[in-house]
Amino acid sequence: MKKRKKIILAKPGLDGHDRGIQIVASALKEAGMDVVYLGLQQSPETIVETAVREKADVIAISVLTGSHLSVFGKIMEGLKKRGRTDILVTGGGIIPDEDQKKLNRLGVGKLFGPGTPLEEIVSYLESWKAPSP
């Protein structure tokens, strides 16, 4: 049997606008994935630690305040330190295209802006496979 994908969702930073991430969390659950939503004000360190401890396949975060470059950067660094670059880091929010490209170069996966159909996010995560070590 295929193992259910485990997704860690979190909102880093101080912002509390969580309508988007809550909707995405329920859609992923409905699609049969194993979803853990950590809630608000999660530090990049906690997110990385939890993902490693919980044996997650994917980290997905939501950032709407403009602090995406530093937050994603810290998560990528944390995963590298632990040798866990096989975990997919993805997310969404108000992230300008230019910055999305910068983040993709750091190894961050696809990023989803407002108005993205849920189906697109679900199928992206369903079809994603960790690189073989």
Partner 1 sequence: MKNKRGGSTDGRKIEAPGSYPFTRGIHPRMYLKRPWTIRQFAGFGTADETNERFKLLLKEGNLGLSVAFDMPTLMGLDSDAPNAEGEVGRCGVAIDSLKDVERLFRGIPLDRISTSMTINGPAIILFALYLAYAKKQGVSFRRLRGTLQNDILKEYIAQREWIFPPKPSLKLVVDVIEYCTRRVPQWNTVSISGYHIREAGSTAAQELAFTLADGMTYVEECLKRGLAIDAFAPRLSFFFNAHLNFLEEVAKFRAARRIWAKKMKNQYGARNKKSWLLRFHTQTAGCTLTRQQPENNIIRTAYEALSAVFGGTQSLHTNSMDEQLALPTEKAVRIALRTQQILRHEIGVTQAADPFGGSFVVEALTDELEEQAERFFRQIRKIGGVVAGIEKGFFQKEIAKSARRYQREIEQKKSIIVGVNAYLLEEEVPIPTLKIGSETERRQIRNLRQIRKTRNGRRVTLVLDRIRSAAEKGENVMEALIEAAEAYATLGEMVDALKSVYGTYRQRVFL
Binding mask 13-52 for partner 1 (x = CB under 8 A): xxxxxxx--xx-xx--x-------x-xxx-x---------
Site stretch for partner 1 (CB under 8 A), options 54-62, 76-84, 103-111, 116-124: 116-124
91 in contact with partner 1 (CB under 8 A): no
116, exposed or middle or buried, with CB in 10 Å at 0-12, 13-18, 19+?
A: middle
Distance CA 95, CA 112 (A): 8
123 in contact with partner 1 (CB under 8 A): no
Q: Any idea what DSSP says for residue 4?
A: P
117 in contact with partner 1 (CB under 8 A): yes
- Compute the C-alpha angle 120/65/57, nearest 5°: 45
Site stretch for partner 1 (CB under 8 A), options 52-60, 79-87, 111-119, 124-132: 111-119
The count of chain residues that interact with partner 1, using the rule CB under 8 A, is: 31
Four-residue CA torsion sign, 40, 131, 54, 46: negative
114 in contact with partner 1 (CB under 8 A): yes
